[in-house]
Chains A and B, each alone.
Chain A
Amino acid sequence: MRMKLPIVAVGALALTAAAPAMAHHAFGGEFDSTRPVLLKGPIVKVEWVNPHTWIHMEVKKPDGGTEVWMIEGGSPNSLLRQGITKNSLPIGTEIVVDGYQARDHTLKRANGRNITYPDGRKLFFGSSGTGAPRDGADPTEKEPGR
């Protein structure tokens, strides 16, 4: 039997990348590909709800003031099943988000194409060695072996 390992790997890569093949809604209708954003700042609120989690973060503006951006994430259900709760992302946690702004530019909203801690670690990712997911409660926690 001929195995198709490369195809499996490539296909899995497509799914684990930031781009879903299908989703609750049309991302292209919601977000503007001409408006890429890179946002850094502390979390001020998390809406842990369906169909999408929304993380609110405070971002410094060039003039020194601040504004609050809302970041779209996925459904929280499977994260909840992994033991991640609304306490896993405490208010004040610093995050870095890259994504695209909503097509209505009066809205400070973007998709959370890639959400990480300031050192680049992905939120929630990283095995503790026991198979349990990191809960994100401690943003200074290091990857095992790093």
Chain B
Amino acid sequence: MRRRLLLVTILVGGLALAALSPAPIAGQGQAYSPPRLADGQPDLQGTYDLATLTPLERPNGMNAVLSREEVAKLEGAVAAVVALGARPSSGERAAPPKGGDGSRGAAGNVGGYNSFWLDPGSTFTMVNGEARTSIVVDPSDGRLPPLTPAARQRLGALLARPSAENDPGLDPTPGAYDDPERRPLGERCLLGFGSAAGPPALPNYFYNNLRKIVQTPDRIVILNEMVHDVRVIRMNAQHLPSHIRKWAGDSVGRWEGDTLVVDTTNFNADQIRYVVAVAPGRTLMMVESIGAEEQDRLSGPGKDLHVIERFTRVGEKALLYRFTIEDPGTWERPWTGEFTWPATDQPIYEYACHEANYALENILRGARQRDAEATKR
């Protein structure tokens, strides 16, 4: 049974809002020797801001690395658009159009809210002094590898789903609003939405991109600002039995030299994440949450998802984050991405998602009103 599907579209060229020149990361390079904790392990602790203008996939027609002039030009274009968004509206404006404003995706024909709430990133990621145009580094063209035939079939079915009749804002999946447990994980405050949850830890190109790392001798914890996800990485441990499935998977870690290597398997069947390339100029991110029966029937999308992450401190103020995705039910071959996590002295605030989750209440109450109206007819 398909339980939840959520499509998210990101304009590749638009993963950008502000206009700061990317500063090279001081000390980045092979020779850097990281500070160490009392037990000798490299100190990766700190708060990091994953927001970046660099998209997951390289836009068509771009080289892997931008020159400083190109960076300045692109950021200037983005800055101009930001300034446009900050311009005043008319205080005497009318209500938005009846029937919706045409916005798509999660904005569901009613729009969201002003962009002053957003914080999607202001610099291209700098790796080895290079301003990168994609997070994907393998395949070397910066694009994701082909989907398997089964995954293409799933994606096709997803894209072919009709909208709810006369109401494009509604999810047409039968029973989608029947109870809270049919709602998406993000809406229920269980996991970050879009690319925010992971692993892998990806920028979400939206807001709340901070991560905090805390180390102890036998556990390393990564706090994700978005929805307050916490990963506890057990060091030098074995994976849990394969029938035990966890949100964000089961992560075990080890040190390879000064690099922390984290191996994650045993993802919960309701948290299956893919990122799929579609038409030129766009990356379609598909966040899929499906029931176990369908998983079996479709020969296991994500069942064997295996994420290997490598964290290396490359400077006083930066980690290099590298990850490889293996999921033979979805991708024709493994793929790898990397980007720099710049340290930030900004505080990371508690998310406390349940505290004011009026949205879930509003969504379910709206569905009950539709039920009542349908009964009357």
Contact = CB atoms under 8 A, between A and B. Distances in A.
Contact of A72 (B99, B176, B358): B358
Contacts of B98: 33-34, 36
Nearest to A36: B95
Contact of A26 (B204, B363, B370): B363
Contacts of B70: 1, 3
B208 A102 contact: no
A90 interface: no
Interface in A34-78: 34, 36-38, 47, 49-54, 70, 72-78
B9 to A, nearest CB: 5
B77 A113 contact: no
Interface residues of B, number: 103
Contact of A19 (B15, B111, B120, B363): B111
Contact of A78 (B82, B89, B118): B118
Given A14-B14, A114-B89, A77 B113 contact: no
B315 interface: no
A74 to B, nearest CB: 3
Q: Is the interface of B mostly helix, strand, loop or mixed?
A: loop
Nearest to A18: B111
A119 B87 CA distance: 12
Interface residues of A, number: 83
B111 A107 contact: no
Contacts of B359: 24-25, 30, 51-52, 72
Contacts of B165: none
B108 A28 contact: yes
B8 A16 contact: no
A104 B362 contact: yes
B227 interface: yes
A115 B111 CA distance: 13
B14 A12 contact: yes
A50 B111 contact: no
B363 A119 contact: no
A8 B189 contact: no
A25 B186 contact: yes
A1 B59 CA distance: 12
Given A32-B366, A52-B356, A75-B208, A12 B77 contact: yes
B110 A116 contact: no
B105 A22 contact: yes
B61 A4 contact: yes
B103 to A, nearest CB: 3
Given A4-B13, A29-B169, A72-B113, 10 more contacts: A8-B13, A15-B15, A23-B107, A24-B353, A73-B114, A73-B117, A81-B119, A115-B113, A120-B89, A120-B91
Interface of B: 6, 8-17, 59-63, 70, 73-74, 77-78, 80-82, 84-101, 103-120, 167-171, 176-177, 184, 186-187, 189, 193-194, 204-208, 225, 227, 281, 285, 346-347, 349-353, 355-360, 362-363, 365-370
